[in-house]
Amino acid sequence: MINRNSYIPLYIQLKNEIRSKIKSNEYDVEELIPSEKELMELYSVGRATVREAVNHLVAEGRLEKRQGIGTFVKKPKKAIGFEPLISLTHSLKNTDVDLINKVIYKEIIDLSKEEQKLTKMKTEKSFRFKRIRTINQIPIILEDFYFDLEFYRKAKDADLEESIGALLIEKMDIEISKIEQEVITKTATEEEQKALGIDSDESVLYMKRWTYIKNIDQPYQYYELVAPVTLSGYPFKHF
């Protein structure tokens, strides 16, 4: 139930309550959940709290709004994957979700020793940018890119809010020779909790990826992705 003395925002508590009822089949697939007004009365919360909780569950693919009818439990679909060379932007283009990428940081940086070790880049500088991705206006994915400066010289005028995979493969005609990737789940940091609107006991999917191209012996791109585990559907062990 809702705990007003908790530090966890009310909309997250309500989201978790509804999600728990979906998991336990109290709200079954294709079933109409209580109306906005009913949820307000049931949990003694305001309209904004109900809408925020429901919107998060719609973004997660657990609920579906039907115009003029109500909100239904959605039939589970194949989870979004993060396979190498597959663009998330492209994979969602033909779905009914509204995906928006927003660049929140962009700079040529000096790589620290720790960053050189993490990125496996031998150079002293890198072009770094960060993005936040929203699905149906809900923040859902955090991305952090490190690129070889050659990328910056070739793509400095490119729209970095579009598909980076398509930019590399289709527009820049980059020949990728190897990809290394690690994926685990972990506890979200406070910054990640705030950015993604998740509570402190929720895990996140954490992916690291090193992309190599022909004739270069260090990664052309290092990439990190953080997303709620509920987005992936993968049964990872928590670290």
Dump pLDDT digits (tens) for 18-38.
988 998 899 999 999 999 999
**Residue ranges per structural domain of the chain:** 10-73, 88-232
pLDDT band at 90 (very low <50, low <70, confident <90, very high): low
DSSP state of 170: I
- pTM for the full predicted model: 0.64
Burial class for 115, CB neighbours closer than 10 Å (0-12, 13-18, 19+) = middle
Q: CATH classification of 10-73, choosing from 3.40.50.261, 3.40.718.10, 3.40.50.720, 1.10.10.10?
A: 1.10.10.10
CB 162 within 8 A of CB 181: no
Dump pLDDT digits (tens) for 152-164.
998 888 999 988 8
Q: Please report the pLDDT score of residue 214 as a whole number.
A: 84
CB 183 within 8 A of CB 89: no
Q: Please, what is the angle between helix 10-23 and helix 36-43, to 10°?
A: 110
Contacts of 9 (CB under 8 A, 6+ apart): 197, 199
Q: Which of 1-15, 79-93, 139-153, 167-181 has the lowest mean pLDDT?
A: 79-93
Task: Indicate whether 99 pLDDT > 80.
Answer: no
Pairing label, strands 203-213, 176-187:
antiparallel
Tell me the one-letter amino acid at 146: Y
pLDDT band at 92 (very low <50, low <70, confident <90, very high): low
Q: Which long-range contacts (CB under 8 A, 24 or more apart) does 187-193 make?
A: 187/238, 188/226, 192/142, 192/226
Task: Indicate whether 108 pLDDT > 90.
Answer: yes
Distance between CA 101 and CA 99 in Å, rounded?
7
Residue 28, both tokens = 């079954």
If you compute the radius of gyration of the chain from its CA atoms, what whole number of angstroms results? 20
Q: Please report the pLDDT score of residue 236 as a whole number.
A: 42
In CATH, what is the architecture of 88-232? 3-Layer(aba) Sandwich (3.40)
Q: Write down the mean pLDDT value for the chain.
A: 84
